[in-house]
Amino acid sequence: MHLIKDCPIIITKAAFKAEEFIRKKIELFTKDCDPFYAVDLEDICNKHVRWLTAMPRVTPHYAVKCNDDILVLKLLGFLGAGFDCASKTEIKKIIDLGISSDRIIYANPCKQSSYVRYAKQVGVETMTFDNEQELMKIKENYSDAKVVLRIVTDDSSAVCQFSMKFGADLETARFLLEKAKEIELDVIGVSFHCGSGQMTSQAFVDAIKNARSIMSYGDKLGFDMKLLDIGGGFPGNTGTDEYFTEIAVAINRALDEHFPVQSGVRIIAEPGRYYVASAYTLATNIIATREMTDPATNEKKLMYYVNDGVYGSFNCVLYDHYIPEPTPLKKDISGKQYTCSIWGPTCDGLDCITSSTCLPKLTTDDWIIWKNMGAYTISGAVQFNGIPFGKPLYFMAKPFWDNVKQAFEQRPVQYTRALKYRMNSECGNEVEDEMLPWEDLEDSILPS
């Protein structure tokens, strides 16, 4: 493997596991102890292929909020995904990549008026709503918009629930359709979100059935209801394949029952964590340690302080109910295990990543890695106390990248625009717009 200092994308000769990649990076640049992410781009590509295989009828619109890393957006744009944006800034990010506005759904049911006007300006016409005031706002600011009615779901078995904040119940949904008819706003479909970290496929099945009932009512009122958006909530951590398949099978069955292909309804989804969670492994360095004795039990306890915390990447502990799992990087971890707590680098007592876990004795300058750190981490991080959070370092094996580009070379027109976008503009290389991303990558990143 060749690593180029400060270059964020590494095309490796052979496949690497994130952990090996991290070891290599540390070995080569030992003095640089800043936290960093090993981002496995192959993992993201594999997720996309798995999605298309498991739910061929459902076009993914990646939820930008989950991780707005520009390279992830470029890669998914290149692979042909659509995008779920929640704000003007997110829309702009996608538009600035040259991705066409019809691949974007503005999926925030409560929007600032000026953002609606911005959506109009850049041609993002599909947007969600779930209440009468929002309907009037959209009518006033973008009367030609194609609106999608978000209905409530039973998300009680999800880790992060939204139904207390968003979604019209079925009675209100019917009223909203009548209202939209009255003010002549075009409702084209229904959306829902079963909650992030959804633990049961039944929630999707029930929501699809409810969507059918509301869309039939809309059709009766004279709307042409041709879009169903089944939201996000799909698992993305390593080891969740079986569960993802179970959800996909249930969704496919419900779609075939309520929205058969002949219905002509286009189905989209808004997966976030599914795409990125497992691709990101965070490496943190132990910057300080403390030992203490529990006065009640006389047990020796260890405290480790690492250089990324809850104000940075681990904001997911506070906002995403996430329980991150530490793994020491050093190979020999046999021997006595201690009860430990792991703390972030700021001066705040709240900056605790995990209050109790079991680890061997580690020392300052040892590394701890954290898998499944791609979702709701970077996008919510700030540099509190002036301390930067982990920076991404991307890797992909060249043989795999060759396969990806071959597969997509065979795809016609819809990809040609996306193909033009440069994957490595982060590197600050001047490249012609016409250059394909892989040429770009190979020419400028692969050392000769």
Which residue ranges make up the site for ligand PLP (CB under 6 A)?
A: 63, 65-66, 84, 107, 193, 196, 231-234, 270-274
Q: Which residues are catalytic?
A: 347
Helix, coil or strand: residue 12:
strand
CA-based torsion, 117, 118, 124, 126: positive or negative: negative
Nearer to ligand PLP, 63 or 340 (CB): 63
Helix, coil or strand: residue 326:
strand
Rounding to the nearest 10 degrees, give the CA dihedral for residues 137, 143, 145, 150: 40
Nearer to ligand PLP, 232 or 392 (CB): 232
Residue that has been written with the tokens 């996000």 in this structure = 232
Closest approach of ligand PLP to the CB of residue 194, in Å: 9
Q: Tokens at residue 111, please?
A: 């929007």
Phi/psi at 54 (5° precision) = -75, -35
67-78 burial, b at 16+ Cβ within 10 Å, e below that, comes to bbbebbbbbbbb
Nearer to ligand PLP, 69 or 351 (CB): 69
Residue 73 one-letter amino acid: L
Nearer to ligand PLP, 232 or 345 (CB): 232
Nearer to ligand PLP, 9 or 194 (CB): 194
Closest approach of ligand PLP to the CB of residue 72, in Å: 13
Closest approach of ligand PLP to the CB of residue 113, in Å: 19
Q: Tokens at residue 185, please?
A: 């706003």
171-182 burial, b at 16+ Cβ within 10 Å, e below that, comes to ebbbebbebbee
Contact 193, 150 (CB under 8 A): yes
